[in-house]
């Protein structure tokens, strides 16, 4: 492809100022080692407006990945740090994409690095997501543990050891993102404490349901390090995992309420709005400008004093809207200074999804406001085409389902709540939706993350008691759920 093929032609200043409006393909002249060459970018791999742009494309006939460092103040410092990290990986025998050139945009305003593109490579995160068994996941972890152990032996610590920072190609694992490589102590193996801290950060990114894989994965790491497994090492690792998971969760739950790569945020005297960027199209924007005008024409699924649930269609897609109402003037006055129930539902939906619990995807949340005072609020989620388990298991269709499998799936859900010290607040059967053999949980405004174990136990016992009330008139179902719950309780106390 050449510029004459109607391809856009940009310069460094445009890349820096275009924000999220950058489109591909585009051509840009880059300067490296005293010569000027054309780079044709065909794909955007990562974009942090005004800070970082990562593109795939063609340079001198080669397939490349180019990192543009857009930050006016710190761009060159970030480039130098990335380059040091890549050199540290290479000098330590860690496989990483080859650095092909170092340069800048033609007029020198934007520094950049160009790397070979690993043809046919797969993102290990995608491989993990497609794995269908724990043995397959353990195989992935074994390979990653070998790479991380070799890094630690060389004195290298990847400060962001995210699974997305590794590629697989031809049976080899490539480490990428030199910017996150701490090579200050290169040549001196990491000591026990910093090694466990880095491993804790790595394992904390996985859902709690995979915690059972950590011991064996850690054994692979320890064998490469030639460690003797002294008493307390594994316990120390798990303490680091819990600490790192808590910090990551806390930071993530702040991020979902502000403008970012994933979300658009609009805050003014009349409203506070947050919406997933991929869902914010013209239809969504029009709806959020005046939701009640649309809702009065839509189907009501549930009508109550404090909330109303609607089924709507936007851009041809069915969605659920839950509107939290103000029952009267006194109710409005009490709620006006508190976080709305829509706010809580938005936060809790993201919290549950972050630990692997199925709940309808939260798409948008809006509070109507008058300055600091909150009023009616709304949350939009995807529509899950399914049936709640209360009505399903009390219907003639109950015999069509593998009840044992459902009970085990429910037990797995409970274990994730227990591991994360989360209570739901209303475990009635209508809040569990069965769709395509998967169990989804809804009605999240009372979900609570506990810091103290005894408080969690008290709240969760109420959840379990409420759940068992659903099956008082169905003894055979009651017995199956009661047996599964008894297994959970034995591990709780």
pLDDT in tens, the chain (493 residues): 444 467 899 999 999 999 988 999 999 999 999 899 999 999 999 999 999 999 999 999 999 999 999 999 999 999 999 999 999 999 999 999 999 999 999 999 999 999 999 999 999 999 999 999 999 999 999 999 999 999 999 999 999 899 999 999 999 999 998 998 998 889 999 999 999 999 999 999 999 889 999 999 999 999 999 998 777 899 999 999 999 999 999 999 999 999 998 999 999 999 999 999 999 999 999 999 999 999 998 999 999 888 999 999 999 999 999 999 987 666 555 666 688 999 999 999 999 999 999 999 999 999 999 888 888 999 999 999 999 999 999 998 888 889 999 999 999 999 999 999 999 999 999 999 999 999 999 999 999 999 999 999 999 999 999 999 999 999 999 999 999 999 999 877 6
Same domain, yes or no: 221 and 132: yes
The pLDDT of residue 491 is 79
Which of 363, 382, 401 is the last residue before a domain boundary? 382
- Radius of gyration (Cα) for the chain, nearest Å? 26
First to last CA, the chain: 66
Q: Is residue 248 part of a domain?
A: no
Residues whose CB falls within 8 Å of the CB of residue 60, separated by 6 or more in sequence, listed in order: 37
Rounded to the nearest 10 degrees, how much is the dihedral formed by the CA atoms of 473, 479, 482, 486?
A: 160
Same domain, yes or no: 324 and 278: yes
d(CA 325, CA 332): 9
- Going from the C-alpha of 156 to that of each of 86, 89, 148, the distances in angstroms are 11, 8, 9
Residues whose CB falls within 8 Å of the CB of residue 285, separated by 6 or more in sequence, listed in order: none
CATH number (domain holding residue 45): 3.30.200
Buried b (16+ CB within 10 A) or exposed e, 470-490: bbeeeeebeebbeebbeebee
Instruction: Report how many helices (DSSP H) and strands (DSSP E) the chain contains, helices first.
Output: 15, 24
d(CA 490, CA 493): 6
Which of 382, 398, 413 is the last residue before a domain boundary? 382
The pLDDT of residue 98 is 96
d(CA 233, CA 218): 10
Angle between helices 475-492 and 453-468 (to 10 degrees): 170
Q: Is residue 294 part of a domain?
A: yes
- Going from the C-alpha of 90 to that of each of 83, 85, 143, 204, the distances in angstroms are 11, 9, 18, 27
CA 284 to centroid of chain Cα atoms: 23
The pLDDT of residue 329 is 64
The pLDDT of residue 334 is 65
Same domain, yes or no: 408 and 466: yes
In this structure, the number of other CB atoms found within 10 A of the CB of residue 187 comes to 11
The pLDDT of residue 230 is 76
Q: Is residue 252 part of a domain?
A: no
Same domain, yes or no: 136 and 186: yes
Q: Is residue 55 part of a domain?
A: yes
d(CA 445, CA 309): 14
CATH number (domain holding residue 426): 1.10.510.10
Same domain, yes or no: 192 and 126: yes
101 bridge partner residues: 114
Which of 89, 116, 143 is the last residue before a domain boundary? 116
The pLDDT of residue 337 is 66
Same domain, yes or no: 72 and 21: yes
The pLDDT of residue 12 is 95
Q: Is residue 250 part of a domain?
A: no
Residue 184's domain comprises: 122-241
The pLDDT of residue 328 is 62
Same domain, yes or no: 84 and 107: yes
Same domain, yes or no: 126 and 227: yes
Q: Is residue 139 part of a domain?
A: yes
Same domain, yes or no: 335 and 227: no
Q: Is residue 249 part of a domain?
A: no
The pLDDT of residue 339 is 87
The pLDDT of residue 1 is 42
Please write down the long-range contacts of 404-412, taking CB distance under 8 Å and 24 or more positions apart: 404/480, 405/437, 406/434, 406/439, 407/480, 407/481, 407/484, 408/484, 409/438, 409/439, 410/439, 410/481, 410/484, 411/484, 411/485, 411/487, 411/488, 412/209
Buried b (16+ CB within 10 A) or exposed e, 402-424: eeeebbebbeebbbbbbbbbbbb
- Going from the C-alpha of 80 to that of each of 12, 84, 103, 161, 455, the distances in angstroms are 18, 6, 12, 20, 49
Closest residue by Cα to residue 426 from 364, 341, 312? 341
Same domain, yes or no: 361 and 324: yes
Site of tokens 């709507």 = 312
Q: How many distinct structural domains can be found in the chain?
A: 4
- Going from the C-alpha of 322 to that of each of 120, 194, 289, 292, 367, the distances in angstroms are 44, 46, 16, 11, 12
Residues whose CB falls within 8 Å of the CB of residue 176, separated by 6 or more in sequence, listed in order: 96, 97, 165, 166, 167
Same domain, yes or no: 42 and 127: no
Same domain, yes or no: 346 and 375: yes
Q: Is residue 247 part of a domain?
A: no
């Amino acid at each position: 492809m050449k510029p004459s093929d109607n391809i856009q032609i940009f310069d460094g200043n445009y890349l820096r100022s275009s924000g999220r409006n950058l489109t591909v393909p585009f051509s840009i002249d880059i300067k490296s080692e005293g010569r000027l060459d054309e780079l044709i970018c065909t794909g955007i791999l990562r974009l942090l407006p005004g800070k970082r742009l990562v593109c795939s494309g063609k340079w001198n006939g080669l397939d490349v990945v180019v990192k543009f460092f857009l930050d006016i103040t710190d761009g060159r410092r970030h480039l130098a740090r990335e380059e040091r990290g890549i050199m540290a990986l290479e000098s330590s025998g860690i496989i990483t994409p080859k650095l092909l050139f170092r340069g800048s945009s033609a007029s020198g305003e934007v520094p950049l690095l160009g790397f070979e593109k690993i043809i046919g490579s797969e993102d290990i995160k995608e491989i993990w997501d497609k794995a269908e068994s724990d043995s397959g996941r353990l195989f992935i972890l074994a390979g990653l543990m070998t790479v991380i152990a070799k890094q630690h032996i060389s004195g290298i610590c990847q400060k962001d050891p995210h699974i997305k920072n590794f590629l697989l190609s031809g049976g080899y694992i490539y480490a990428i993102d030199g910017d996150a490589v701490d090579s200050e102590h290169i040549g001196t193996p990491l000591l026990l404490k910093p090694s466990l801290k880095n491993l804790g950060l790595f394992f904390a990114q996985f859902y709690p349901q995979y915690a059972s894989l950590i011991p064996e994965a850690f054994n692979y790491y320890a064998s490469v390090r030639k460690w003797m497994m002294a008493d307390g090492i594994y316990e120390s690792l798990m303490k680091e995992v819990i600490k790192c998971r808590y910090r990551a969760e806390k930071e993530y739950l702040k991020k979902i309420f502000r403008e970012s790569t994933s979300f658009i945020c609009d805050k003014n005297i009349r409203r506070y709005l947050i919406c997933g960027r991929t869902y914010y199209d013209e239809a969504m924007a029009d709806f959020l400008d005046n939701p009640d005008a649309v809702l009065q024409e839509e189907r009501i699924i549930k009508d109550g004093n404090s909330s109303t649930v609607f089924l709507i269609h936007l851009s041809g897609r069915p969605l659920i809207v839950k509107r939290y109402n103000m029952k009267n003037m006194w109710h409005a006055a009490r709620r006006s200074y508190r976080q709305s129930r829509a706010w809580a539902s938005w936060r809790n939906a993201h919290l549950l999804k972050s630990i692997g619990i199925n709940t309808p995807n939260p798409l948008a949340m809006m509070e109507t406001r008058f300055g600091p005072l909150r009023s009616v609020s709304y949350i939009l989620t995807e529509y899950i085409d399914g049936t709640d388990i209360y009505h399903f298991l009390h219907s003639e269709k109950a015999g069509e389902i593998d009840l044992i499998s459902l009970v085990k799936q429910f037990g797995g859900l409970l274990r994730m709540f227990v591991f994360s010290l989360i209570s739901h607040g209303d475990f009635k059967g209508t809040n569990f939706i069965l769709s395509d053999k998967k169990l989804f949980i809804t009605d999240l405004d009372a979900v609570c993350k506990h810091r103290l174990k005894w408080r969690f136990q008290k709240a969760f016992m109420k959840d379990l008691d409420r759940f068992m009330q659903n099956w008082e008139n169905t003894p055979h179902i009651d017995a199956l759920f009661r047996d599964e719950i008894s297994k959970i309780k034995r591990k709780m106390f």
